Structure 1
Amino acid sequence: MNFIKVYTLTALFSAFTLIQATHANAITAPPLETQVKQVAQWFTGLFDNSQQVATNPSIPLITLSSCSVALTNTNPVTGTENIYLEQKSINRFRLYSFSQENSAVNLSIRAFDTNYSVTGLCNRPESEHTLDSSKVLATSCNLQLLWEPTDYIGNNSPNGCPTSSGGKVISSVTVSENGIDSLDKIFGANGNLLFATPIEFRRVDSIPEPSFTLGILAIGFWGTSKTILRKHKQKSTVSEESLFNCD
């Protein structure tokens, strides 16, 4: 009889735990509109990979900063957060746009006209955080971010984004409240993997509070080792549309 009681209690406890976990998973995911704002805010601010460099000096130190921007010469798109990205020491400038798409957050990344200078935009007064939409290239590279309890995970496998040499870049990213882990796999036109270096960005400052006029911000990411940098300078093969490369 005691064994029956113990078995019954154990079964009831297991069933209760399973119901609790299932219920929690069912109600935890926030609305998609909230996800767009949350992941964008987690991208906001100043990041670098100094902790990773300390344990692997072959990887260059990269700093990322971003700020929310308004686009001029265009009608605003409801539910879309537009963010300007500036990356150093490997210079890279991009417009990141977060929006809703089906059951995920869509991240669209576009480059600028070569003659359009936006360096230091985030250091200017907030009233000057604007970009001329006519200077933003139409071609974009996209990636979907899926919500998890503590982070957002995305990749654009297997198609990736095309490179100027006929190859492609397949990008993976995990975004958490205080860090961004990214990996770009760059393939040549023959399908061979040229290089792939994971980069671990960590937040340098606290998450800024979203404001009424600024909206939510984002950061771009990607880094390469010194060997990759030398190859990249020699080849200039990665296209403007790839997600996280440092061209």
Structure 2
Amino acid sequence: MNPVKVCTLTALFSAFTFVQATRATAITAPPLETQVKQVTQWFTGLFDNSQQVVTNPSVPFITLSSCSVELTNADPRIGTKNIYLEQKSINRFRLYSFSQENSAVNLSIRAFDPNYSVTGLCNRPESEHTLDSSKVLATSCNLELLWEPADYIGNNSPNGCPTSSGGKVISSVTVSQNSIDSLDKIFGANGNLLFATPIEFRRVDSIPEPSLTLGILALGVWGTSKTILGKYKQKSPVK
């Protein structure tokens, strides 16, 4: 082989190896403590799926608000961040706890005592962002969130979490700085898939004020929302 060609190929290979090594170094995952802080920050705020509804009116309009909370009557767990989540029009109220576990961020999702009212918690002064730990159910649904350069990705396939109807729900979630994409696959006791609609939440700057546009949008998805809400009530997951 021509010596010039050999030198050229060697130089190109060395350059390629250097670029790959540099890239690998650049995308090294941050410490788990940093990951927990980052993903909870990205997860906190006000979101809705209005952009998704515009392109697909069969999907119900849903708002999601979340804020950092403190648990009363509980021993603090070092490195754990607790987030209260409130979702409407398909109502869902949960405590999301993010913590360090092995090489990933562990997400534990728990429901509340049915008689414990926490609606609108994130709209209250920050000093009132507290939850009574005795009102948080012990049963949890867990996911592992793996760090990627631009987001955190997790799922609990294939086992999922049990539902009140004897089936299970397998959840997938991608958390980015300004978006949360989630998919709950709900299976019946016989293993048949009952429901699986991905929801694409996007961050909004502030709590939207009632408007004609929002009213028209809500009316447009009301029928579908009511139908899906009925399914959720019949087959609501324990998580």
Q: TM-score, normalised by structure 2?
A: 0.87
* Cα distance in 2, alignment partners of residues 175 and 225 from structure 1: 27
> Match of 1:8?
10
Q: For the Cα contact (< 8 Å) 2:161–2:238, is it kept in 1?
A: no
C-alpha displacement at 1:237, in angstroms?
2.0
Alpha-carbon distance change, 53 to 227 in structure 1, aligned in 2, over 3 angstroms: closer
| 1:240 corresponds to | 238
Determine helix, strand or coil for the equivalent of 1:8. Answer: helix
* Residues 60 and 225 in structure 2, CA contact (< 8 A), matched pair in contact too: no
- 1:166/1:227 CA distance change after superposition, 3 Å: farther
Q: Is structure 2 residue 19 aligned with structure 1 residue 21?
A: no
Structure 1 residues 79 and 225: alpha-carbon distance in aligned structure 2, compared to 1, 3 A threshold: farther
Contact 2:81 2:99 in 1 (8 A): yes
What SS class does the counterpart of residue 184 from structure 1 fall into? strand
The alignment partner of 2:83 has SS state of: strand
Q: Structure 1 226/169 Cα, relative in aligned 2: closer, same or farther at 3 Å?
A: farther
Give the equivalent residue in structure 2 for 1:245. none
- How far does residue 225 in structure 1 lie from its aligned partner after superposition? 10
CA distance in 2, matches of 1:88, 1:232: 10
Report which of the two has the higher share of strand.
2
Count of residue correspondences: 222
Q: Could you say which residue in structure 2 is the equivalent of 1:155?
A: 155
| 1:59–1:225 contact (8 Å) kept in structure 2 | no
Which runs of no fewer than 5 residues in structure 2 stay unpaired?
207-220
- TM-aligned CA deviation for residue 39 of structure 1: 0.3
**For the residues of structure 1 that align with 2:145 and 2:103, how far apart are their CA atoms?**
9
Residue matched to 1:66: 66
Letter in 1 for 2:163: T
* Partner Cα distance (2:181, 2:225) in 1: 18
Residues 231, 63 of structure 1: alpha-carbon distance in 2 compared, 3 angstrom cutoff: closer
**CA 1:225/1:39 → structure 2, altered by over 3 Å: closer, same or farther?**
farther
Deviations 1:189-234 (A, max 9, x none): 111111101111111028xxxxxxxxxxxxxxxxx99658526525
Q: Which residue pairs with 1:175 in the alignment?
A: 175
Sequence identity (%): 76
Residue 236 of structure 1: how far off its partner (Å): 1.4
State whether residues 35 and 147 of structure 2, in contact with CA within 8 Å, keep that contact through their aligned partners in structure 1: yes
Conserved 8 A contact 1:80-1:97: yes
Greater Cα radius of gyration, structure 1 or 2: 2
Q: Secondary structure at the match of 1:6?
A: helix
Cα shift at 1:8: 2.2
Distance (whole Å) between structure 1 residues aligned to residue 236 and residue 15 of structure 2: 55
- Coordinate RMSD, CA, aligned: 1.9
**Which consecutive residues of structure 1, in runs of 5 or more, have no partner in the other structure?**
207-223, 242-247
1:127 deviation in Å?
1.2
The one-character-per-residue Cα deviations of 1:68-104 (angstroms, maximum 9, x if unpaired) are: 1111111211111111111111111111111111111
Q: Which has the higher contact order (CA 8 A, sep 6+)?
A: 1
Tell me, in whole angstroms, the C-alpha distance in 1 between the residues paired with 2:235 and 2:114.
16
Aligned-pair CA distance for 1:240: 2.6
The list of structure 1 runs, each at least 4 consecutive aligned residues, that deviate by more than 6 angstroms after superposition, is none
Change (3 A) 1:233 1:153: same
Letter in 2 for 1:237: K
Report the Cα distance in structure 1 between the residues aligned to 2:201 and 2:97, rounded to whole angstroms.
Answer: 20
